[in-house]
Amino acid sequence: MNRRQALKNFGLGAGILIVGPSTLSLLQSCKNEPRNNWEPTFLNISNGLALKQILNVIIPKTDTPGANELNLAQFIDSYMNQVASEERQQNFKRSADAFAVAFKEEFGKDLDKGKEKDFEEIISKYLSASLEEQEIFAKMETETQDPIDKIPELKMDPDAGSLSYLKNVRQMAIWAWKTSEEIGENVLWYDPIPGQYIACGPVEELGNGKAMSL
């Protein structure tokens, strides 16, 4: 199974986003925003532009629209600014900053100087890490915690923060990609008026193996 098919069939657990009419409306409105010269409202400019690079690696354009064709960076930035809780906002910004630090340590340059291959490499480093490696990254953060670690100005460990940030971005991106009108109607199995439940039937007549968008 290739990555695009995996995304089509991927199901996410509850609790990743606060999902309601406002979130869905926000996702739809972001689709129509201009892609060129976009400036984030929540993240700083450097982290916002890096977010677009990250999303292009996670969900690139293939035979179906990619993350940047659907303005998912704009959606994630707006969601964090308008919908997310204050605690989640703080954690998201801190983890984005931790990723910027890890990127500079890895390549000796800032995010805005990064190339596509740089982002592919560092994303693979964290998201393709084994469970044992991910546990080591997480441990780096817990070992430095103390009673004042709730202060939002304190920085995260670069490795632990990067892993958290990339996982969060990936989860939000896949949810938004699957929930967007373009993907829901033109890529996934779309039936605006579902009929009777059929437990067993020909795959060709039941979405051809695709996840249902409604």
Instruction: Establish if 103 belongs to a structural domain.
Output: yes
Determine the pLDDT at residue 47.
Answer: 97
User: Average pLDDT per run of 10 along the chain, which is 214 residues long?
Assistant: 43 45 60 72 95 95 87 92 91 95 96 96 94 83 51 74 94 86 56 53 49 48
Domain of 10, in residue numbers: 3-209
Instruction: Establish if 176 belongs to a structural domain.
Output: yes
Residue type, 137: F
How many structural domains compose the chain?
A: 1
Instruction: Establish if 214 belongs to a structural domain.
Output: no
pTM attached to this predicted model: 0.73
